[in-house]
Structure 1
Amino acid sequence: MISSLRCLPAAFALALVGTAGLVPTAEARVKNPVAEFAGIDKITGRIFNFDVYMDETVQFGSLQVTPRVCYTSEEGEEPKTDSFVEVDEITLDRKIRRVFSGWMFAESPGLNAVEHAVFDVWLKDCKNASDVPAPSGN
């Protein structure tokens, strides 16, 4: 009985080594400096695409869009693009009201898009560069 207990740690170690390849690893995420959004003006029916640098704010209609972080999966991995975004509305009496704060997913634009009475905004992509000039200080 005692001799079989001495073998137990070795057997446990072998079992762990044997299953090491089966343990899922965390997917590597690439941090990007630019988030690409699309927005629709429901009055005119026009769709606009716009780029926003991290921690910068762009106004789309009465909405102010501020991405805080934007991740993509590494090349060769299943495409996954997500961004933590804050969206504020400028009301008619010039007050700022937070209408969205959370994660948007480019592969599922309807999941966490901003749905406003006049304007909708959703994440399209995260990018390394933009045609829009970078804000000063970046």
Structure 2
Amino acid sequence: MKALAALLLSAAPSLAQGYSDAQGGVVRWLDKLTNQTGDVELQLGQSATNGRLTIQLDACRYPSDNPAAEAEAHLTILDSTRDGPVFTGWMLASSPALSALDHPRYDVWVLRCVVPGYEPPEVAPDAPDDATTEGDGQ
């Protein structure tokens, strides 16, 4: 019982944090069979098709005071070979495995919400493997 109370108290600040609704979001998809991947930016209610999957963004929200901290998106995902959605629910950008798409061929996860005036930091590309370094005799 004490462990449960401690867990609830530690989660209280995140529950009290205010969230804002975004007008769009960015999701990434992976076709595990072909190894193709891509990012797609969707507006609320918009959908995109990649292979057999159609991904629709129903909602996207983020912490009002820190858009980079988290994104929560409600997605509806359809597979053209199946009846009904293969996924419908909330996905968290920071913990995609908590509510993941359970599909043998595809993975889909949320990257971020689209927030006006906010640009996510650029990720520097890795140095090539054949780059020479000082002291390697060349």
- Residue 91 of structure 2 corresponds to which residue in structure 1? 104
Taking the aligned partners of 1:51 and 1:82, their CA distance within structure 2 comes to 14
Rg (Cα) greater in structure: 1
Query: Any stretches of 5+ residues in structure 2 without a counterpart?
Result: 1-11, 117-138
Q: How does 1:42-81 map to 2 (within 5 A)?
A: 42-76=32-66, 79-81=69-71
Equivalent pairs: percent with the same residue? 23
TM-score (ref. length: structure 2): 0.66
Deviating above 6 A after TM superposition, structure 1's stretches of 4 or more consecutive aligned residues are none
- Residue 88 of structure 1 corresponds to which residue in structure 2? 78
Taking the aligned partners of 1:106 and 1:75, their CA distance within structure 2 comes to 17
Taking only aligned residues, the RMSD between alpha carbons, in angstroms, comes to 2.3
AA in 1 matched with 2:35: G
String of CA shifts for 1:52-88, please: whole Å, max 9, x gaps.
Answer: 1111111121111111110010234882310111111
AA in 2 matched with 1:67: L
Size of the alignment, in residue pairs?
104
Match of 1:125 among 109, 112, 121: 112
TM-score (ref. length: structure 1): 0.66
- Residue 32 of structure 1 corresponds to which residue in structure 2? 22
